[in-house]
Amino acid sequence: MVLVNASLVEKHVKSRSLLSRAWSVLLQDIEVQELLRLSNINTTMRLLYNDHGPVHAAIVSGASLEIMDLLLDYGITPSSLAHGVVKDIDYSKLIILLGAYLHDIGNSVHRHSHELIGAQISYYILSRILPEILPNEDSRLIYRIRSEVMNIIHSTNPDVQAITIEASIVKVADGVDMAEGRARIPYSRGKMDMHALSAISIKRVEIEPGSFKPVRIKVIMSSYAGYFQLEQVLIPKIRGSLIDGYIELAPVLQISESEEKPLPLIQF
């Protein structure tokens, strides 16, 4: 079991030199960091939405790589590898890391169509940073990886059906960042409605191997209001992916600090 949080990504990148290099580039790149900062200004300050900045980007990156490892252990091959886009699993993981970290940069322009905007902006960023991450690789590989990352960013749109395993993983991971008020549903601050009640009821999210499926997403909630977050955000993202058949959703009711009640599994 792993807890979904901003430090999870470090576990995955520190043991892979390619991912470690890419992570360092992302964190040190001024344009990337400023776009994420502006994304947060537009969403949290101007629209009163939830966090869409660097912390969210890190959380989704870590959750994506964790889900990918569970699928790899189950024998699922990433689309980029299966279809000959890349020839090494580390490159598939690179695609996921870049797509997950950059998926919300379009919010720096506007919330409306931010997934498509983000994909377009990422073209220029990826054209600049990929040669730095992959200094000895053929430019054709860089072009292919760039397109796969753009595909991921565009596919995070709720209305877009994912067509790759990589995009599916990031789409689902985007929805698991909901613990302690980090809801993916916007709600008015200071207004106690169903959006707010459901947001504050999610205490933590964990990812682990499932009992019947390779991936279990465990959502611990303090009240049944947490189902609203699942039904409105996470479940549609899972259903809009190619990996719905590999996921079981496990809601858990936290009765007290030391007592939890498992609720019926949700399978797809």
**Mean per-residue pLDDT for 76-88?**
97
Query: Which pLDDT does position 47 carry in this prediction?
Result: 85
Is residue 120 packed enough to be buried (19+ CB in 10 Å), middle (13-18) or exposed (0-12)?
A: middle
Q: How far apart are the first and last CA of the chain?
A: 21
> What pTM does this model have?
0.95
Summarize pLDDT for 2-19 with one digit per residue, the tens.
999 999 999 999 989 999
Query: Which pLDDT does position 199 carry in this prediction?
Result: 74
Measured CA to CA, the distance from residue 264 to residue 266 in angstroms comes to: 6
Summarize pLDDT for 250-264 with one digit per residue, the tens.
999 999 888 999 999
Summarize pLDDT for 157-184 with one digit per residue, the tens.
999 999 999 999 999 999 999 887 676 5
Query: Which pLDDT does position 44 carry in this prediction?
Result: 84
Q: Which has the higher per-residue pLDDT, 62 or 233?
A: 62
Q: Is the pLDDT of residue 132 over 60?
A: yes
**Mean per-residue pLDDT for 188-202?**
68
At the top level of CATH, which class does the domain 179-267 belong to? alpha beta
Range(s) for CATH 3.30.70 in the chain? 179-267
CA atoms within 13 A on the CB side of 28: 9
